[in-house]
Amino acid sequence: MALGSTWARLAPLAAEIGAVAERLRPSVVVVDNGAGAGAGVIWAADGLVVTNDHVVPGEQARVQLATGETVAGQVVGRDRLNDLAAIRIPRASVPAVPVGDSTALRPGQLVLAIGHPLGLNHALTLGIVSALPAADEPRELIRADLALAPGNSGGPLLDAAGRVIGINAMVAAPGVALAVPSHVVGAFVSHLGEPAPWLGITALPVLIPPAYRRSAGAAAGLLITEVAPGGPAEAAGLLPGDVIVQVAGEPIRQPRHLLEALARTPAGAELALAIFRGGRPLATAVRPTLRAAGSDAPPARSAA
C-alpha cells in the first residue's frame, strides 16, 4: 500500500518530466565534428545552435536535427573561457529552446539534462542543483547531482518547467555535472560578431607569497606571462612577470574578473590597474582597443 501510495503521488511529476522531454526534443541536436559527437541546443529560430567549444574544434560540423536530417553547420563564434561555441545552420525556422533565468537558481532545485550519451540520442537524466557558481572560481559553473556521459556535452540543463538554465559542459566526478549558466550563454550570444575589447596579454591566476601580501595589497592576482607586441598592454608598459591585483579598484583573482571589467570599459577609455612588480606595488592604466571577434583566439581562460 505504501509503495502504491508513493507512486500515486509521484505519477504526476513523472508525467510532467516526460512531457518536458518530449517538448524539448526537437530543439536538441547532435553535433558531429568528424572525430566524435556531442549535443547542441537550438538557441534561436533562425538557425543558431549553441554547444561547447570542445565539441567543435574545427570551423565546421555536421548537425543532425531531431527529424534525422543532417545539415552542414559553420562555427560563427567562440568563448573559450566558458567553453562555448555558436554554430549557424542553413535553416530559417527551427524550434528554439525556451531560456530560463539561471541567476534565480537555488540548491535543491530539480533539473533535467537531455543529450546523446554514448550514442543514445535524446536520453534524459534527472537530478538536483547541488551548488551555484562561487565568486573566486575561474568560470561560472552550475554544479548538479546528475549522471552525464560522453555525448551529453553541449546539451541543455533544464529546470522543471523545461526552460534551459545551462549548457552541460563536463563531468566533475561520477554523478556530478558542471553546466555553463544560461545568463553567461545569453551574454555570449548577444555579442556574436562584435569586436571584443582587448589588452594584449596572457595571464594566469596565482597566489602571492605571504611575505609579499601586505606590500601587494592582495593575496592573489593574475600573473602576466605574455605581452602581445603592439598591443595596449605593451603601450602601457606592462611586462611579463607583473601581477595584476586590482582592476578598476576591485580585487582580481581569476581571468574572468578581468574579462568582465574589459566588457564594461569602452574602447579607448582608461582602465585602472594595480600591479605588483619586483616586490613593489605600482598603479597604472591601460586603454583597451577592439579586435575582431575570434581573431587570434588563444585559450580565453588565460588571455585578454
> Per residue in 135-159, pLDDT tens?
667 789 999 999 888 899 999 999 9
Which three cell numbers, joined as nine digits, stand for 43? 538557441
pLDDT at 7: 58
| Burial class, 214, CB count within 10 angstroms (exposed 0-12 / middle 13-18 / buried 19+) | exposed
Catalytic residue (choose from 83, 102, 257, 302): 83
pLDDT score, position 62? 95
Give domain 102-190's CATH number out of 3.60.15.10, 1.10.760.10, 3.30.540.10, 2.40.10.10: 2.40.10.10
**Which pLDDT score, from 0 to 100, does residue 295 have?**
44
Provide the whole-model pTM: 0.77
Instruction: For residue range 106-129, list pLDDT tens digits in order.
Output: 999 999 999 999 888 999 999 999
Q: Please identify which of the residues 153, 159, 182, 242 carries the catalytic annotation.
A: 153
CATH of 2-88, one of 3.30.420.10, 3.40.190.10, 1.10.10.10, 2.40.10.10: 2.40.10.10
Q: For this structure, is 215 an active site residue?
A: no
Q: What is the CATH number of domain 196-291?
A: 2.30.42.10
Is 54 labeled as catalytic in the residue annotation?
yes
User: Annotated catalytic, 242?
Assistant: no
- H/E segment holding residue 225: strand 220-227
* Per-residue confidence (pLDDT) for residue 81, from 0 to 100: 82
Q: List pLDDT tens digits, range 21-75.
A: 889 999 999 999 888 899 999 999 999 999 999 999 999 999 999 999 999 999 9
For range 190-210, the mean pLDDT: 88
How far is the CA of 170 from the CAs of 51, 84, 109, 254, in angstroms?
12, 12, 20, 20
Decide whether 102-190 matches 196-291 in CATH topology: no
Band of residue 133 on the pLDDT scale cut at 50, 70, 90 = confident
Contact 163, 139 (CB under 8 A): no
* Of 41, 159, 51, 163, nearest in space to 96 by CA: 41
Going from N- to C-terminal start, the domains of the chain cover: 2-88, 102-190, 196-291
Rg (CA), the chain: 22
Q: What is the 3-state secondary structure (H, E, C) of 268-285?
A: CCCEEEEEEECCEEEEEE
